[in-house]
């Protein structure tokens, strides 16, 4: 621990410093070795512009410079704001009140420390940054003549650039970090360097994997993903978990949940008080959940067809064997919902009624407006991605994680840079961030098909646009009752896009919009009494018209859904115990597949 000399300033403990320096030296040597090994193996350096960012910005600046009048006008507005800031700062320096020229948006947590508001210098730095950010963003956004895809790419990466240059991300312009440096005698910087080297080491010398939470604080099946259940079936792609009943009677029709294979299923079972799985079991449903494998190069050949046949259809077969019921209600979450739509199209073509109701959690079927992920999807980027996946046999889980983190860079990247490296602190144990960091790989064949046919070419919305397992898929032939729930602030599956997908189905559809975003809006138990949701008995052509005439309700949409699905679940029967049917228990939930971590391979 630190020693306090007569002047009151802490003196670092020599033994602790020696240990930290030894760790730093060791990790630095490991990084150099890893880097050289990557080069010797022919692995590419992470500096190639596969995303086409440079070309997009070159085009944007060319268009901007081609309109000198508009550029001059923007420069004048910029200097006017700076002059106003200077005048107001002088007033504040003299002890007078002055209205801020620029303020952080609501919810921006970068400038929470009191010095950003009360200290003259840091308030000036903050406002100067916000002014420059606003004008840079507006100048590039006003570039004339850019195609829509290029304009979105420029907008997205401009925000990434602006976020990266926030004064809160640098030691000398972050008052909290400076105070910590003085208070600890600089030990925060030594610890921060050690944290940085640890994160670089986890990235195998070629990637910075910022640690978001204390990964040692959680154990699956012990303090996360704890709802009691048994694995009753498995194949190469998934394990099927059947959960133990919490009621004496259950609905006759079982409930199957198909989560995305981009993440682990236990987002639906983080802890007892917010577990959707446990809540559904408590409502009298026999719940089954697909727990996807974390694939490696041995499953490189697995295709989207396989995820349909060996995934969704195999799960339906297993549920029927376990319960004796000839059909099920099925929930698809995000990408799992896209697979559910494909499964429904397949069964419709086969004239098989095995799914009695379909629920779509934030799921897209029509990818015409796919949200901010669109900036990562074009022919050039897909070709480069397919080359990497072919070389390895899969898409590395960290690549997908980084992509999603960039959508909320200030919260999911830069806040941890400040906490871990500038303040020298360990990240706080947080179950949601543990799940977020528990990324999964994706087989090369499957993921390439998905990105090309869904995101790039939007073929699922076209009758017969894709063929799976030899069957042309036409979602317009799906007449199964469907419940769509989307969220108002979702940037991954925008609710207006999911609305367009819901309009493709021909059966009865209930469309609901919840508050918040892609995760928080779905994991919103009634007991939390948070957010709100909107319902509308009609489905007008325009999503804006739908929202305009919708009814707003307080709290969670879960209560609305449970009433809807109960009407499609049959009579009550004695509760089913896992292993008592034709499928025997393999192991306890959450199972082996859920415990496979991509960063421990």
Contact 382, 451 (CB under 8 A): yes
CB 372 within 8 A of CB 506: no
Helices (H) and strands (E) in the chain, counts: 21, 17
Q: Tell me how far CA of residue 283 lies from CA of 245, 247, 287, 349, in angstroms.
A: 10, 8, 10, 33
Roughly what angle, to the nearest 10 degrees, separates helices 148-164 and 120-141? 170
Burial of 109 (0-12, 13-18, 19+ CB in 10 A): exposed
Give the residue among 528, 569, 587, 598 at the shortest CA–CA distance from 234: 587
Cβ pair 469, 352 in contact under 8 A? no
Distance CA 346, CA 354 (A): 11
Decide: helix, strand or coil at residue 159: helix
Annotate 180-231 with DSSP letters as a single string: HHHHHTTHHHHHHHHHHHHHHHHTTTS------S-GGG--BTTTBS-S-EEE
Q: Residue by residue, what is the 3-state secondary structure of 223-281?
A: CECCCCEEEEEECCCEEEEEECCCCCEEECCCEEEECCCCCCHHHHHCCHHHCHHHHHH
- From residue 15, give the alpha-carbon distance in Å to each of 1, 12, 149, 425: 9, 9, 56, 19
CA contacts within 13 A on the Cβ side of 395: 26
Of 162, 224, 270, 334, the active-site residue reads: 334
Please name the residues in contact with 526: beta carbons below 8 A apart, sequence gap of 6 or more: 555, 556, 558, 559
Look at residues 561, 550, 486 and name the one whose alpha carbon lies nearest to residue 517.
486
Task: Dump the DSSP string for 380-393.
Answer: HHHHHHHHHHHHHS
Residues 208, 23: contact at Cβ < 8 Å?
no
Q: What span, in angstroms and rounded, lies between the C-alpha atoms of 143 and 157?
A: 15
Dihedral Cα 166, 170, 176, 180, nearest 10 deg: 160
Q: H/E element holding 442?
A: strand 442-443
Is 334 noted as a catalytic residue in this protein?
yes
Return the H-helix or E-strand segment holding 356: strand 355-361
CA 400 to chain centre: 9
Burial state string for 119-136 with b = 16 or more CB within 10 A and e = fewer than 16: eeebbbbbbbbbbbbebb
Strands 287-292 and 328-333: unpaired
> Is residue 590 reached through a cis peptide bond, with omega within 30 degrees of 0 on the bond before it?
yes
List residues with catalytic annotation.
334
């Amino acid at each position: 621990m630190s020693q306090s000399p007569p002047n009151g300033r802490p003196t670092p403990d020599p033994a602790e410093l020696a240990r930290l320096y030894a760790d730093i030296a060791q990790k630095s040597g490991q990084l150099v070795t890893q880097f050289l090994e990557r080069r010797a193996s022919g692995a590419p350096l992470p500096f190639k512009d596969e995303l086409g960012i440079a070309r997009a910005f070159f085009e944007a600046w060319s268009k901007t410079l081609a309109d000198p009048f508009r550029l001059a006008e923007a420069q004048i507005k910029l200097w006017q704001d700076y002059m106003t800031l200077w005048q107001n700062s002088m007033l504040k320096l003299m002890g007078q009140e002055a209205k801020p020229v620029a303020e952080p948006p609501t919810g921006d947590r970068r400038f929470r420390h009191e010095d950003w508001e009360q200290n003259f210098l840091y308030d000036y730095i903050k406002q100067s940054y916000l002014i420059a950010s606003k004008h840079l963003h507006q100048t590039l956004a006003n570039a004339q003549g850019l195609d829509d895809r290029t304009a979105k790419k420029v907008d997205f990466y401009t925000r990434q650039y602006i976020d990266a240059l926030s004064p809160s991300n640098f030691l000398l312009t972050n008052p909290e970090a400076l105070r910590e440096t003085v208070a600890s005698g600089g030990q925060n910087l030594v610890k921060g360097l050690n944290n940085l080297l640890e994160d670089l080491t986890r990235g195998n010398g070629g990637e910075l994997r910022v640690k978001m939470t204390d990964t040692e604080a959680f154990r699956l099946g012990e303090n996360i993903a704890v709802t009691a259940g048994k694995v009753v079936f498995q194949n190469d792609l998934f394990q099927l978990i059947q959960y133990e009943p919490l009621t004496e009677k259950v609905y006759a029709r079982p409930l199957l949940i198909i989560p995305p294979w981009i993440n682990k299923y236990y987002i639906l079972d983080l802890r007892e008080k917010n577990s959707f799985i446990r809540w559904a079991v408590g409502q009298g449903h026999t719940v089954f959940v697909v727990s996807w494998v974390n694939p490696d190069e041995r499953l490189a050949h697995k295709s989207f067809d396989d995820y349909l046949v060996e995934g969704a259809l195999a799960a339906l077969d297993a549920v029927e064997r376990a319960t004796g019921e000839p059909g099920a209600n099925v929930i698809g979450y995000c990408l799992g919902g896209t697979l559910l739509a494909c499964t429904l199209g397949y069964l419709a073509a086969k004239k098989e009624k095995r799914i009695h109701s379909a629920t779509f959690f934030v799921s897209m079927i029509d990818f015409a407006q796919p949200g901010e992920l669109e900036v990562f999807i074009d022919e050039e980027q897909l070709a480069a991605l397919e080359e990497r996946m072919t070389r390895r046999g899969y898409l590395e889980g960290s690549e997908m994680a980084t992509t999603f983190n960039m959508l909320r860079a200030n919260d999911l990247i830069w806040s941890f840079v400040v906490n871990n490296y500038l303040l020298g602190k360990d990240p706080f144990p947080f179950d949601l961030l543990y799940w977020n960091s528990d990324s999964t790989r994706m087989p090369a064949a499957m993921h390439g098909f998905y990105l090309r046919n869904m995101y790039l070419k939007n073929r699922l919305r076209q009758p017969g646009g894709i063929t799976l397992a030899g069957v042309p898929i036409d979602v317009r032939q799906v007449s199964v009752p469907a419940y769509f729930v989307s969220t108002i602030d979702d940037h991954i599956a925008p609710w207006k896009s999911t609305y367009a997908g819901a309009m493709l189905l021909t059966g009865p559809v209930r469309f609901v919009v919840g508050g918040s975003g892609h995760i928080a809006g779905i994991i919103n138990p009634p007991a939390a009494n948070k957010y709100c949701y909107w319902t509308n008995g009609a489905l007008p052509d325009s999503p804006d018209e739908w929202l305009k005439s919708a009814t707003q309700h307080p709290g969670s949409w879960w209560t609305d859904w449970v009433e809807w699905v109960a009407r499609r679940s049959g009579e009550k029967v004695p509760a089913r115990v896992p292993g008592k049917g034709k499928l025997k228990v393999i192991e306890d939930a959450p199972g082996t597949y859920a415990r496979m971590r991509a960063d421990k391979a």
